[in-house]
């Protein structure tokens, strides 16, 4: 027996096109043709609406033509006859026995609309009984038809959208979900689901026993709505305990359109206690594959749908699936394991007739690998505020961690870290040496060793060298600074700090000169020295110079400056010009002289005086000139001239030779 609810046929989706009302669900192709509905208004013999006419227009026709007239039903017997006859419009066996036809007929006599009769009014038997649905069987496959329904005696007219008659499978597919043998009630319970637009409303079930032919069975089918899907429960009460069966189902819609057969599903009529599991289970280390080899025996594998193997490092929890096994296999090698690590396994079987899987008892296994791990490589040292960070990349598996070693200037490498744990999620590693004894005045070498899960160490990696930035030593200040002068030069000597501090890179000499014309203003410059002495030329000094020395280390640090050491020097005056000559000219007195060659003067000052008077500056010319005309003179007077060389610092030379003239 098929227990399934009739699907309500709803007339929805009206639109107006070219002045006509178009109903999108007025016509629908079905098993024996195209089903055409009329509307919601019930026709009656003695009423304004006594029936409907149905016209049809094929895609290659211009006008509608009458194809049938549906008159109002006159009696309950006629209503019952048409309702019962509707079951022959469908390809599957169904019945109207659950409909209370007499009661529906009485209500239809006092109600005007199908909506007043409730949901049952929109089922195929009731629509057929009231002569409000018609099947057009005179249609061609693949051809499009449009239908127009007009009320008789009432102004009512609707048109369908074009409908193409087809026998292709258009229903949503049926997917097997689960199956189980209900031992207390001794029946097979199978679940299929479907989702989509056109879902089946009727299910036929077919079964094969012991690889025989498939036959349709008298199964009970229930429909269970689940959100946007339908679930179909197929109950087979004729399945025998211990039997192995294959099933498939076929679906139909409310108009008899058939869907495709579902995939074949094998199930066994066994209860949970009888379910078989792997036997004679053995486990042993496999040195070739570096894993654990597990073997077993399995009887009656045909009843099992899926066999899985689970693993954990804990005998109680933490198990995860490591393999889905073929039911015909008898061994499996687990290569995703760490050496020298205990593991626990169990099998889980899913059966063709049970939705609940079954587990075996847990068993233990492990293996060890005597191969030394690969040496770490690609080390990079980076100096940070905290110390020295070592970065490296290491991908080989079965690594428990790493040891970090350090040495100083050729000394043997010493272990300086606890075990640095490996991380299977990333091959990139980093460790910072923050030892408080690290000195910024030392260079350190680092190397790594890998440590396997089998407690085997690798060789040393390549070494990297770095110097930390903390605890950097400051060099000593120079001592015994002396400053002497000789032959217009200053000699500065100081203690050679590099003789007792190997990290000295050189020295900075601070030289400070007093600004001309001031008593306490100095200009200081810095001179880099590679040794502990410096010779300074003071050709332009004006009498006071002072010096201080700073020691520099190879690490960029510097000592405190030594004290200032001063020296008073005599000014070095420039050389005056020579061969000063004077001659009268129309515009005054013309002077010329032999210029100073080295060092070149900045300018020349020309001085003039009369006997018994003080010299006055008559003029100034640049150091590149050697001629001057004095136009500020008076005829009849006797004048004397001399010239002084002036340097860039303003220092003047002694007088040149004098030259006199009567103008």
Residue 40 and residue 253: Cα distance in Å, rounded?
A: 22
Q: What is the pLDDT of residue 542?
A: 53
Is pLDDT above 50 for 650? yes
**Which comes out higher in pLDDT, residue 415 or 340?**
415
Q: What is the pLDDT of residue 268?
A: 76
Q: What is the pLDDT of residue 123?
A: 86
Is pLDDT above 50 for 12? no
Q: Which tokens go with 165?
A: 């008659």
User: CA-CA distances (angstroms) from residue 314 to 173, 310, 363, 423?
Assistant: 44, 12, 11, 20
Q: What is the pLDDT of residue 323?
A: 95
Is pLDDT above 60 for 68? yes
Residue 220 and residue 34: Cα distance in Å, rounded?
A: 29
Q: Which tokens go with 59?
A: 């895609």
Residues 12 and 25: beta-carbon distance below 8 Å: yes
Q: What is the pLDDT of residue 543?
A: 64
- Name the band, by pLDDT with cuts 50, 70 and 90, for residue 210: confident
What's the average model confidence in pLDDT over 352-356?
69
Q: What is the pLDDT of residue 565?
A: 86
Least confident segment among 56-60, 350-354, 408-412, 583-587 = 350-354
What's the average model confidence in pLDDT over 444-467?
91
Residue 163 and residue 166: Cα distance in Å, rounded?
A: 9
To the nearest 10 degrees (0 to 180), the angle between helices 76-85 and 101-110 is 120
- Find where tokens 């699936």 sit: 321
What is the 8-class DSSP label of residue 649? T
- Name the band, by pLDDT with cuts 50, 70 and 90, for residue 193: very high
Residues 368 and 454: beta-carbon distance below 8 Å: yes
358-378 pLDDT tens trace = 899 999 998 888 788 899 999
Q: What is the pLDDT of residue 400?
A: 87
Residue 461: closest CA among 404, 523, 423: 404
Is pLDDT above 70 for 466? yes
Q: What are phi and psi of 77, to 5 degrees?
A: -65, -45
Q: Which tokens go with 322?
A: 């490591």
Q: What are phi and psi of 275, to 5 degrees?
A: -60, 130
225-272 pLDDT tens trace = 887 888 999 999 998 877 788 899 998 888 888 888 999 988 877 766
Residue 40 and residue 195: Cα distance in Å, rounded?
A: 29
Q: What is the pLDDT of residue 424?
A: 80
Around Cβ 225, how many Cβ atoms within 10 Å? Answer: 9
438 burial class (0-12, 13-18, 19+ CB within 10 angstroms)? Answer: buried
Least confident segment among 350-354, 420-424, 659-663 = 350-354
Coil, strand or helix: which one is 182? strand
Around Cβ 420, how many Cβ atoms within 10 Å? Answer: 18
- Name the band, by pLDDT with cuts 50, 70 and 90, for residue 538: low
Percent with pLDDT over 90 in the chain:
46
Residue 151 and residue 42: Cα distance in Å, rounded?
A: 10
Half-sphere exposure of 576 (CA within 13 A, CB side): 16
Q: What is the pLDDT of residue 458?
A: 92
Q: What is the pLDDT of residue 599?
A: 67
Residue 153 and residue 166: Cα distance in Å, rounded?
A: 35
**Which long-range contacts does 377-380 make (Cβ < 8 Å, 24+ apart)?**
377/461, 377/462, 379/446, 379/447, 379/448, 379/461, 379/462, 379/463, 379/464, 380/464
Q: What is the pLDDT of residue 11?
A: 44
Residues 198 and 183: beta-carbon distance below 8 Å: no
Residue 108 and residue 101: Cα distance in Å, rounded?
A: 10
Sequence-ordered list of residues with C-beta below 8 angstroms from that of 316, at least 6 positions apart, any chain: none
158 burial class (0-12, 13-18, 19+ CB within 10 angstroms)? Answer: buried
Least confident segment among 1-10, 113-122, 601-610 = 1-10
Residue 251 and residue 266: Cα distance in Å, rounded?
A: 19
Q: What is the pLDDT of residue 4?
A: 39
Is pLDDT above 50 for 649? yes
Is pLDDT above 60 for 297? yes
What's the average model confidence in pLDDT over 450-467?
90
Q: What is the pLDDT of residue 540?
A: 52
**Which comes out higher in pLDDT, residue 346 or 400?**
346
Is pLDDT above 50 for 432? yes
Percent with pLDDT over 70 in the chain:
93
Residues 165 and 33: beta-carbon distance below 8 Å: yes
Mean pLDDT of the chain: 87
Is pLDDT above 50 for 13? no
What's the average model confidence in pLDDT over 126-140?
93
Q: Is the pTM above the cut of 0.85?
A: no
Around Cβ 364, how many Cβ atoms within 10 Å? Answer: 10
Q: What is the pLDDT of residue 3?
A: 38
What is the 8-class DSSP label of residue 237? T
390 forms beta bridges with 381, 431
Question: DSSP labels for 270-325?
Answer: --GGG----EEEEEEEETTTTEEEEEEE-S-GGGEEEEEEEEESSSSS--EEEEEE
Residue 522 and residue 544: Cα distance in Å, rounded?
A: 10
Residue 312 and residue 320: Cα distance in Å, rounded?
A: 7
Q: What is the pLDDT of residue 235?
A: 93
């Amino acid at each position: 027996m098929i227990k399934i609810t009739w699907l309500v046929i709803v007339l929805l989706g009206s639109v107006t096109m070219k002045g006509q009302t178009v109903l999108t669900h007025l016509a629908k192709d079905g098993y024996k043709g195209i089903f055409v509905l009329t509307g919601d208004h019930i026709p009656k013999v003695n009423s304004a609406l006594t029936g409907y006419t149905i016209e049809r227009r094929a895609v290659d026709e211009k006008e509608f033509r009458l194809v049938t007239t549906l008159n109002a039903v006159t009696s309950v017997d006629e209503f019952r006859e048409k309702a019962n006859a509707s079951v022959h419009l469908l390809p599957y066996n169904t019945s109207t026995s659950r409909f209370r036809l007499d009661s529906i007929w009485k209500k239809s006599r006092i109600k005007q609309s199908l909506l007043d009769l409730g949901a049952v009014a929109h089922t195929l038997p009731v629509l057929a009984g009231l002569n409000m649905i018609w099947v057009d069987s005179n249609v061609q496959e693949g051809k499009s038809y449009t239908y127009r329904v007009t009320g008789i005696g009432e102004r009512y007219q609707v048109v369908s959208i074009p409908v193409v008659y087809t026998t292709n499978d258009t229903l949503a597919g049926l997917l097997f979900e689960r199956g189980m043998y209900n031992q207390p009630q001794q029946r097979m319970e199978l679940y299929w689901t479907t989702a989509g637009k056109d879902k089946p409303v009727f299910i036929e079930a077919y079964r094969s026993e012991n690889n025989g032919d498939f036959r349709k069975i008298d199964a009970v089918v229930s429909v269970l709505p689940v959100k946007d899907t339908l679930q179909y429960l197929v109950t087979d009460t004729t399945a025998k305990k211990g039997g192995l069966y294959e099933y498939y189902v076929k679906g139909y819609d409310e108009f008899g359109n058939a869907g495709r057969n579902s995939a074949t599903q094998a199930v066994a009529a066994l209860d949970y206690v009888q379910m078989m599991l792997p036997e004679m289970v053995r486990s042993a280390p496999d040195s070739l594959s570096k894993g654990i080899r597990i073997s077993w025996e399995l009887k009656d594998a045909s009843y099992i749908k899926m066999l899985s193997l689970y693993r954990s490092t804990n005998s109680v929890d933490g198990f995860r699936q490591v393999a889905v096994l073929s039911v015909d296999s008898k061994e499996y090698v687990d290569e995703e394991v760490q050496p020298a690590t205990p593991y626990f396994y169990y099998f889980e079987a899913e059966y063709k007739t049970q939705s609940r899987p079954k587990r075996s008892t847990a068993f233990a296994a492990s293996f060890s690998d005597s191969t030394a791990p690969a040496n770490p490589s690609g080390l990079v040292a980076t100096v940070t505020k905290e110390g020295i960070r070592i970065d490296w990349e290491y991908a080989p598996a079965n690594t428990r961690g790493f040891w970090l070693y350090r040495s100083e200037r050729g000394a043997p490498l010493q272990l300086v870290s606890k075990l640095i744990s490996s991380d299977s999620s990333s091959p990139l590693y980093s460790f910072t040496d923050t030892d408080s004894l690290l000195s910024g005045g030392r260079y350190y070498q680092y190397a790594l060793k890998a440590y396997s899960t089998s407690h085997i160490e690798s060789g040393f990696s390549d070494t990297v060298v770095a110097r930390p930035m903390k605890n950097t030593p400051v060099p000593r200040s120079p001592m015994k600074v002396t400053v002497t002068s000789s032959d217009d030069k200053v000699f500065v000597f100081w203690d050679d700090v590099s003789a007792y501090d190997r990290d000295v890179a050189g020295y900075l000499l601070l030289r400070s000169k007093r600004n001309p014309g001031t008593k306490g203003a100095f200009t200081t410059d810095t001179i880099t020295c590679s040794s502990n002495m410096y010779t300074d030329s003071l050709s332009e000094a004006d009498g006071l110079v002072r010096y201080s020395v700073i020691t520099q280390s190879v690490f960029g640090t510097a000592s405190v400056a030594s004290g200032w050491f001063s020296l008073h020097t005599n000014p070095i005056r420039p050389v005056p010009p020579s061969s000063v000559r004077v001659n009268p000219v129309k515009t005054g007195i013309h002077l010329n002289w032999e210029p100073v060659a080295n060092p070149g003067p900045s300018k020349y000052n020309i001085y003039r005086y009369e006997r018994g008077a003080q010299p006055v500056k008559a003029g100034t010319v640049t150091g590149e000139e050697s001629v001057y005309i004095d136009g500020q003179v008076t005829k009849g007077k006797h004048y004397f001239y001399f010239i002084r060389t002036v340097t860039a610092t303003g220092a003047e030379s002694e007088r040149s030779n004098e030259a006199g003239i009567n103008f």
